[in-house]
Amino acid sequence: MADNKNFIGAHVSIAGGIQNAPGRAKEEGCETFQCFTRSPQGGPAPELTPALISSFHTAMKENEIKSFVIHAPYYINLASLNNRIRHGSIKVIRDELERGSMLGTNYVMFHPGSHSGQSREEGIEKAKNGLEKILDGYTGTTKLLIEISAGAGSVLGDTFEEVAQMMTLVKKSPGFGGICFDTCHAFASGYDFRTADGAKNVLAQFDKIIGLEWLKLTHVNDSKIDLGGKQDRHEHIDKGYIGYAGLKEILTSKPFQKIDWILETETEGRLEDIKKLNKVRDNIHT
């Protein structure tokens, strides 16, 4: 693969230890991958000992994978009214950034959380302040990405405007990387990029409201839910409402050619997903 091409990968399991992730990624035909470094549902994080880190780096080299990204746990909520949850979320994300720096990843991405029990504006304010606290004094090499959400219920970050608001206090922080654009989430939130004009319009909105320079990664998922359905339901490529042709419109745009594409579909059937994404990319670079 030429160096000027972006990488295609998928979310893989760390069962048995994070050192097993690169091998799993290689088996699935990935050039990069995403993983957790701890249980996404809760509990203490496994210690990253020097031996474990060395084993992970060895596995990366043996499987010829040069990069990976970390997904923060699902229970993160920077907007929670519960101080324990909010402060705990800040601590966990900061910890994930430190762990990412030890392992050598470029990015940690996270879902901002929910404004349940308060106004959306109050929730966004808490998330803004939480981001600032996470990055205060941080000197690591891994950068933080906000992932666009599907907007179910009181979840924050489903519009470009909300994401832009959350970024305001950290845009100049060296620890802030930018945005992870999830195709399923954006589609469920009402952004229709299935045609050339639609993709052009969505990118123009993103650029005007957030800035395309902040687009750093994409999760590539089809959607079980129709446009604007406000539910996070990933589907295999060309099996959902976006479709192969619809995903192709956004993925072949110049901004998306420059960033890695990470699948978050079910393991069964994912090899076909990767083949389809390779076909999209091959058409760009021929």
pLDDT tens for 85-123 read 999 999 999 999 999 999 999 999 999 999 989 999 999
In a domain, 129, yes or no: yes
What pLDDT does residue 284 have? 83
pLDDT digits (tens, 9 = 90+) for 25-41: 999 999 999 999 998 88
As a dihedral over the C-alpha atoms of residue 223, residue 192, residue 154, residue 135, rounded to 10 degrees, the angle is 100
In a domain, 101, yes or no: yes
Q: What is the mean pLDDT of the chain?
A: 95
Say yes or no to pLDDT of 279 above 50: yes
Give the residue, 75 or 9, on which the prediction is more confident: 9
Confidence class for position 180, pLDDT limits 50, 70, 90:
very high
Here the CATH number for the domain that contains residue 55 is 3.20.20.150
Cα–Cα distance list, 203 to 8, 172, 194, 215, 237 (Å): 21, 23, 12, 10, 21
In a domain, 56, yes or no: yes
Say yes or no to pLDDT of 150 above 70: yes
Give percent of the chain with pLDDT exceeding 70: 98
What pLDDT does residue 41 have? 83
Q: What is the pTM of this model?
A: 0.95
pLDDT digits (tens, 9 = 90+) for 40-75: 888 889 999 999 999 999 999 999 999 999 999 989
Please name which of 159, 148, 147, 169 lies closest in space to residue 208, comparing C-alpha atoms.
159
What pLDDT does residue 153 have? 83
What pLDDT does residue 285 have? 66
What pLDDT does residue 44 have? 87
Confidence class for position 151, pLDDT limits 50, 70, 90:
confident
In a domain, 1, yes or no: no
In a domain, 63, yes or no: yes
Residue 33's identity, in one-letter code, is: F
In a domain, 127, yes or no: yes
Range of the domain at 91: 8-284
In a domain, 148, yes or no: yes
What pLDDT does residue 1 have? 39
CA distance 78 to 38: 19
In a domain, 157, yes or no: yes
**DSSP E strand boundaries for 49-199:** 67-71, 107-110, 143-147, 176-182
What pLDDT does residue 2 have? 42
Say yes or no to pLDDT of 8 above 80: yes
3-class SS letters over 9-67: EEECCCCCCHHHHHHHHHHCCCCEEEECCCCCCCCCCCCCCHHHHHHHHHHHHHCCCCE
Residue 212's identity, in one-letter code, is: L
Overall number of domains in the chain: 1
What pLDDT does residue 98 have? 98
